[in-house]
Amino acid sequence: MSTQETPPLRTNRSFVIREGRFTSAQKKAFGDLWPKYGIPTDDIETLIPHDWFVNNQPLILDVGFGSGDSLVSLAQQRPDLNFIGVEVYRPGIGAVLRKIDQQELENVRVINADAMQLLRSKFTADCLMGVMVWFPDPWPKTKHHKRRLVQEEFLQALVRVMQLNGILHLASDWQPYVKFMLKHVSKVKNFTPINPAKNPLKLERPPTRFEQRGLRIGHQVTDLIYKLQKGQNSRLVR
């Protein structure tokens, strides 16, 4: 395989497609509002995310936004940034489209796809100033650890699409996953941990639905924040 070719996508997906409670309001929002706020990706080989916004502000990606409360809240708080949320869970997308429309937000767009595929091949290089992965599915059973999203393949895909000095913000209430993330991020030398109080994006994480659930059952929440280095002093460890 030449160095230009993308290696085959891993087969262990980090999600299971559930349409569970897809309410009629969410379905209607999906139908009515997708053309306004959705970014179609199925038939697109290369996506220039900035093309979908009215200005060229720094772009932040929320991976797996769930019901999207925190995505919408951030977009409201930070009109100086643009946001894209990517999610596979269509009821969540329906819910978030409704909230975006109610708030008339121009700085947030939504993608219905597997984040891994977007990051590995569709997004253009160096397009993201920040990436948030908040409370990714913990896949607690050992035999399912290979499904966890935050591991080397995902992190290496981020190195391609993130800008120099871009910020990666991970959060989890499942301490075994926190350890797993620490181990995997430490293998990708481009990411340097930074003190959350010194996050140059000054992006405060609003309480998310899954965080609240974790706190209710007594879990401790950990935030991990990294800055991306590129160039001679950084090295990808495979």
Ligand X SMILES: C[S@@+](CC[C@H](N)C(=O)[O-])C[C@H]1O[C@@H](n2cnc3c(N)ncnc32)[C@H](O)[C@@H]1O
Which of 62, 114, 137, 173 is catalytic? The answer is: 137
One-letter amino acid for residue 175 of the chain: Q
In this chain, which of 37, 65, 174, 191 binds ligand X, going by CB under 6 A?
A: 65
Q: At what angle do helices 90-103 and 69-77 cross, to 10 degrees?
A: 30
Instruction: State yes or no: residue 14 binds ligand X (CB under 6 A).
Output: yes
Strand partners, 169: 132, 225
String marking each residue 82-121 x if it binds ligand X according to CB under 6 A = ----xxxx--x---------------------xxx-----
Does 208 engage in binding with ligand X (CB under 6 A)?
Answer: yes
- Indicate the DSSP class of residue 194: -
- CB nearer to ligand X: pick between 157 and 159: 157
Strands 128-134 and 162-172: parallel
From CA 204, how far away is CA 145, in angstroms rounded? Answer: 29
Cβ proximity to ligand X, 133 vs 159, nearer residue: 133
Indicate the residue among 61 and 185 with the shorter CB distance to ligand X: 61
Q: Could you say whether residue 75 binds ligand X (CB under 6 A)?
A: no
Residue 229 CB, nearest approach to ligand X (Å): 25
Is there a catalytic annotation at residue 137? Answer: yes
Q: CA torsion, points 139, 147, 49, 100, in degrees to nearest 10?
A: -30
**Within its chain, how far is the Cα of 23 from the centroid?**
24
Taking contact as CB under 6 A, which single stretch among the options 28-36, 58-66, 74-82, 179-187 is the one that binds ligand X?
58-66
Q: Select from 29, 50, 32 the least CA-distant residue to 93.
A: 29
Enzyme catalytic residues: 137
Summarize as ranges the residues that interact with ligand X (CB under 6 A).
14-15, 64-66, 86-89, 92, 114-116, 134-137, 149, 208-211
